[in-house]
Amino acid sequence: MRQLADKHALPLIEDCALALFSRDGDQPLGVTGDVAIFCLYKVLPVPSGGALVFNGPGRGDLPDLPPPPLSSTLSVLSSSLLRNVALRGGGPGRRLRQAALGLGKRALKAADIRPVLTGTEHFDRTHLELGISRLTRQILLGQDAEQIVARRRRNYLFLLERLRDLSEPIFPTLPAGVAPLCYPMLVEDNRATVERLLARGIEAVDFWRTFHPACPADEFPEVARLRTSLMELPCHQDLSLATMATIATSVREVLASGRNAPSGGRPPTLPSCPSTDATRTAACGP
């Protein structure tokens, strides 16, 4: 891609949104493109924030950007904490979250506070001139990148060892340098399995279940199967081995007790992926 961009005098933008701290061999992701983009809150315990990296001389002339309003940061942080309460507290936790969200929405409207939301679904161009919050910056200063990578790899390999007999791994090995975002696992129905795991307090993800109009299911059956069968299990650095054992046991029990066990056979044939793609998604592309 670098050679192709140079040949045609095109800027190369490296999308590392899900690949913070990962390497391709000895080379950190984010140093190949003219510009690299990282998402922070998908990997680190921060309420929001991202990183824009310019490579090469004269490309880092952006001024310091002002942080979002404190009210916005506190709103996003409160929302995340309420999600945690709902996840850990079962039915009472979910009801408490719903009640708090209702009160919070009315309070935000009354105070005319518009939180700076993340993600493409809520993107607002008026927020382009904002930087990260002071809280995010402070949390970042306390992070140990090497320890984060080591723990994510440890947790991924733990799940790989204990679940590979249930469903053939999408990636049978973890290449050196990869800081995995999640452990990807094929099940018969990812949405049903995720719901049953959520009921046990385990926040799995049904991997990009919604189809895009440019990728119709009948033309791309291997993508269709991935969208309905690929599940992301957490391997976050703050999860202990005891918690990872609980996750593995819960997955085995959920698959054994329902109709969500893998249907057998090999994983769908995927396009050839470089090792770095394993850090971004569980397959090539969404």
Mean pLDDT of 264-272: 42
Q: What pLDDT score was predicted for residue 118?
A: 67
One-letter amino acid of 153: R
Residue 111 has pLDDT above 80, yes or no: no
Q: Do residues 96 and 197 share a domain?
A: no
One-letter amino acid of 137: R
Lowest mean pLDDT among 36-40, 101-105, 268-272: 268-272
Q: What's the mean pLDDT when you consider all of the chain?
A: 83
Q: Is residue 46 part of a domain?
A: yes
Q: Is residue 223 part of a domain?
A: yes
Q: Is residue 40 part of a domain?
A: yes
Q: Do residues 167 and 128 share a domain?
A: no
Q: What pLDDT score was predicted for residue 58?
A: 64
Per residue in 207-231, pLDDT tens? Answer: 888 888 888 888 999 888 899 999 9
pLDDT category at 7 given cuts 50, 70, 90 is: very high
Which is more confident, 72 or 259?
72
Buried b (16+ CB within 10 A) or exposed e, 107-131: eeeeeeeebbebeeeeeeeeeeebb
Q: Is residue 265 part of a domain?
A: yes
Q: What pLDDT score was predicted for residue 236?
A: 95
CA–CA gap between residue 231 and residue 204 (Å, rounded):
7
Contact 179, 279 (CB under 8 A): yes
Q: Is residue 211 part of a domain?
A: yes
Q: Do residues 75 and 174 share a domain?
A: no
Number of residues written out for the chain: 286
According to the per-residue pLDDT averaged within each range, which of 65-74, 76-85, 147-156, 164-173 is highest? 147-156
Angle at the Cα of 81 from the Cα atoms of 109 and 179, rounded to 5 degrees = 125
Mean pLDDT of 232-243: 96
One-letter amino acid of 189: D
Q: What pLDDT score was predicted for residue 264?
A: 46
Residue 144 has pLDDT above 80, yes or no: yes
Q: What pLDDT score was predicted for residue 275?
A: 34
Q: Do residues 203 and 94 share a domain?
A: no
Q: Do residues 21 and 93 share a domain?
A: no
Mean pLDDT of 179-183: 96
Comparing CA positions, the residue from 111, 164, 180 lying closest to residue 172 is: 164
What's the chain look like in SS3? CHHHHHHCCCCCEEECCCCCCCEECCEECCCCCCEEEEECCCCCCCCCCEEEEECCCCCCCCCCCCCCCHHHHHHHHHHHHHHHHHHHHHHHHHHHHHHHHHHHHHHHHHHCCCCCCCCHHHCCHHHCCCCCCHHHHHHHHCCCHHHHHHHHHHHHHHHHHHHCCCCCCCCCCCCCCCCCCCEEEECCCHHHHHHHHHCCCCCCEECCCCCCCCCCCCCCHHHHHHHHHEEEECCCCCCCHHHHHHHHHHHHHHHHHCCCCCCCCCCCCCCCCCCCHHHHCCCCCC
Which is more confident, 37 or 272?
37
Per residue in 59-68, pLDDT tens? Answer: 666 778 888 8
Q: Do residues 46 and 81 share a domain?
A: no
Q: Do residues 267 and 164 share a domain?
A: yes
Which is more confident, 26 or 243?
243
pLDDT category at 129 given cuts 50, 70, 90 is: confident
What's the domain count of the chain?
Answer: 3
Q: Do residues 81 and 111 share a domain?
A: yes
Q: What pLDDT score was predicted for residue 59?
A: 60
Q: What pLDDT score was predicted for residue 132?
A: 87
Q: Do residues 118 and 188 share a domain?
A: no
Token couple for 253: 């029990």
Q: Do residues 273 and 158 share a domain?
A: yes
Token couple for 92: 């009472």
Provide the residue range defining the domain that includes 240.
145-280
Q: Do residues 272 and 153 share a domain?
A: yes
Residue 274 has pLDDT above 70, yes or no: no
